[in-house]
Structure 1
Amino acid sequence: MKRIPFLAALAGTLLASAAAFAGQAPYAAAAKDIPVSHRDRVYAAEQYSNTVSVTDPASNTLLGVIRLGDPQPGNLSPLYRGQTLVHGMGFSPDNRTLAVVSTGSNSVTFIDTATNTVKHTTYLGRSPHEAFFTPDGREVWVTVRGEDYVAVLDGKTFEEKTRIKVPAGPGMQIFSPDGKYGYVCSSFNPETDVVDVATHKIVGRVKQASPFCPNIAATPDGKQVWFTLKDVGKVQVFDARPPFKVLKTIDSGPITNHVNFARNAKGSFAYVTIGGLNEVKVYRTDTFEEVATIPVGDLPHGLWPSGDGTRVYVGLENAAKLAAIDTLTNKVVATIPIGQAPQAVAYVPDAVPQGPGTANLQPLGLAGAVAHFRLSAPGAKDGASPTSVALFDQGLTQVLEASVTGLEPGSPYVLALADKPDGSGELEPLAAFKANPAGSSIVNAVGPIRQVVQGGSAGSRRYLVIASGSMEKIGAPVQVQTAVE
């Protein structure tokens, strides 16, 4: 009888120990959890405002933005010196340096997390996508998606020192928690390469179910690697160790964007953003069972766990917001306005060791200006809106981004302006596109579109539609504008 309290106490101690050493991505499972505090920061790379938003997770408030470039038309000048299409993001093992990739200006900007100032900018080849430090901090690997290599930068000088040749279109790389392997998925070829970090040699290859992988992540226990396939709406999992065998292929949903992990008292879970459904899906990493579906808002993209795994932060691309998910309840507990079209998100524990950490930040301003629309099939009921449209204000013009779903896979379509709400009358084409194998697409256009679809007299107002066909031969509308927000 006397053993029961002792065993209970021992079990409690073991549980507390496990929780204290849960380990969150990108750290190893043995790493200590870091409780959420005002010293932590959540960063988001914002593609159309060319900003990095800085959020305090302890209060879930936006502190300001770091402006790396200008909106249009300023960034169209031949003498323009800022960054464009701010997109990818990684951070150093000591949590003091943020690496921000701008795909339009072919650069990686290194930012001091304590002062929010730029320490260095490295220019690379065409369309770099993501940058991550090796776990020992000695190197920064950058996938140059517009070419066929991973650029390897010195972790202190940030200068390029060598290249790792891979198939054309490397999408992203991430490292095993022990720093032995780098995993490089492809956006143009159906192959993920495993690279020995010490020698920079390819030591393994994993077949992708499709050519378009935008994101890859490794579990803290060092056993699995998960990557997303945006064009076919799938997630694949392979063994992080030789022979790097594929373990599971999951049908996740249209516009599957990013994946990351959180470990808590209930286990280890993969969180996957499904842009076409405006959801985050949650899977167990041991059984691959889907355990939750979380509505979060328009076009979820990047995501990252807090240092203790109690939250996952999600960038909502078309909503221009950041959503905080409680990982025990799998409910959204906060939504924070940030800049335009957030892409990658990074949660950096202890990013600001002392002081308020607000130096050199600027107000959100125009970077937070966005209008929202929804498109549905003509006559659709129950409020079904398979397509969300955001108009990101650039001043006189807007960048339009449509997250389109519900179309015939592989078929051609046109985003257009119609004379009447039902899509009848003459159609004025804005952009032509082809639906991907999941029947979805991301469609862009630029112009004074808000003034046309929101303002003006009744006779001059136009309405957004999606029609079948091409620019030369537009067919009947298959989706029409149903709501303005």
Structure 2
Amino acid sequence: MNRTGGIQVRPRALILAMLAASVTGGPAFAYTAYVSNEKGNSISVVDTDTMKVVKTVDVGQRPRGITISHDGKFIYLCASDDDTVEVIDTATMEIVSSLPSGPDPELFVLSPDGKKLYVANEDDNLVTVIDVENKKVLSEIPVGVEPEGMGISPDGKVLVNTSETTSMAHFIDTETHEVVDNVLVDTRPRYAEFTPDGSQVWVSAEVGGTVSVIDNAKREVVHKITFEIPGLRAETIQPVGVNISADGKKAYIALGPANHVAVVDTKTYEVLKYILVGQRVWHLAFTPDQKTLISTNGNSNDITFIDAATDEPVQSLTVGKEPWGVIVAPN
């Protein structure tokens, strides 16, 4: 029999209590997050349970866009200044191959079946379609000037690319690889994210300071979300990364040099909250259990862990130099 704080607890009872706690709301499952450090030319490997960097891996020049295969075995990384997409084995964290991305790859999106990678080539005004398994370019799709944001519908049929200088969202048929619609949005669109049901795509405009909500069927803007943070000038509020919860109820928008993440009700489009994070927040990623959201904060060289239940920041963690992108392994 042990005595703790004046309360007697039998060892067997203690063990049973601990097991019960693990079933009914114990600590979150440990996942691994991967952070691309744009100026550090590295990836920080982060344990999301301990909230610590467990490894730093050297990669190509100016790593930005980052994603992971659906089975979690390979990381795909835009090494922008090397004009390539690096393929990294997550078991060894070694670069095992590369994909023919075209010049200056910045952002990309993996198809729902994991077979194709759609890459925005900023310098050539193209979207490059890559066969991941065979490492071949399937198509190069002309789009607007300075393509960046890439989003794909849950069914994989519609791809959306945003062109920064043209200020448009280009809707692309993934079967024909042709642009079928163009939707004008606000200045310098940086990111495109579909809602889980595929009915809408949310496009952030960095200079315009808005997020345009586009109806996927009608291909028209149905709402524009604006932001206002007390004490901050409007020009400092620059929406970039967008992440929508798996249940489709809340959207999270990284507001760049405003150093906040906005939480938006996807039904009413009302801003529910502004979460203070690090300096120059770029992008966001959920853990698979949707309990934690991670932001990359470029100017403060750290990431922030956010409790998705309370929408409160939990902890910040120093990573490499100018963290840009983040992805969390599915397992």
Q: Could you tell me the TM-score, scaled by structure 1's length?
A: 0.59
Alignment pair present for 1:101 and 2:78: yes
Give the corresponding residue for 1:64: 55
Please give the alpha-carbon distance, in whole angstroms, between the structure 2 residues aligned to 1:162 and 1:123: 11
Please give the alpha-carbon distance, in whole angstroms, between the structure 2 residues aligned to 1:158 and 1:66: 23
Write out aligned runs for 1:246-325 (5 A).
246-252=221-227, 254-263=237-246, 268-325=249-306
- The answer to whether the 8 A contact 2:167-2:186 is kept is yes
Equivalenced residues, count: 297
Structure 1 residue identity aligned to 2:186? A
Q: What are the Cα deviations for residues 74-101 of structure 1, in whole angstroms up to 9, with x where unaligned? A: xxxxxxxxx2111111222222221110
SS of structure 2 residue aligned to 1:215: strand
94 and 36 in structure 1: CA distance in 2 versus 1, 3 angstrom threshold? farther
Alignment pair present for 1:37 and 2:41: no
Write out aligned runs for 1:201-216 (5 A).
201-210=178-187, 212-216=188-192
CA apart distance, 1:218: 1.1
CA apart distance, 1:337: 1.3
Write out aligned runs for 1:411-450 (5 A).
none
85 and 118 in structure 1: CA distance in 2 versus 1, 3 angstrom threshold? same
Please give the alpha-carbon distance, in whole angstroms, between the structure 1 residues aligned to 2:267 and 2:92: 40
- The answer to whether the 8 A contact 1:99-1:132 is kept is no
Write out aligned runs for 1:115-134 (5 A).
115-134=92-111
- The answer to whether the 8 A contact 2:120-2:128 is kept is yes
Structure 2 residue identity aligned to 1:332? P
Structure 2 residue identity aligned to 1:250? I
Please give the alpha-carbon distance, in whole angstroms, between the structure 2 residues aligned to 1:179 and 1:247: 22
Q: Which moved more, 1:117-126 or 1:134-143?
A: 117-126
Write out aligned runs for 1:74-473 (5 A).
83-210=60-187, 212-240=188-216, 242-252=217-227, 254-263=237-246, 268-350=249-331
**Larger of the two Rg values belongs to structure:** 1
CA apart distance, 1:208: 1.3
- The answer to whether the 8 A contact 1:131-1:141 is kept is yes
SS of structure 1 residue aligned to 2:249: strand
- The answer to whether the 8 A contact 1:262-1:310 is kept is no
Please give the alpha-carbon distance, in whole angstroms, between the structure 2 residues aligned to 1:123 and 1:163: 11
Please give the alpha-carbon distance, in whole angstroms, between the structure 1 residues aligned to 2:280 and 2:145: 27
Q: Could you tell me the TM-score, scaled by structure 2's length?
A: 0.85
CA apart distance, 1:318: 0.8
- Structure 1: gaps (5+ residues): 1-34, 69-82, 351-485
Structure 1 residue identity aligned to 2:175? A
CA apart distance, 1:36: 4.8
- The answer to whether the 8 A contact 1:36-1:307 is kept is no
Structure 2 residue identity aligned to 1:288? Y
More strand per residue: 1 or 2? Answer: 2
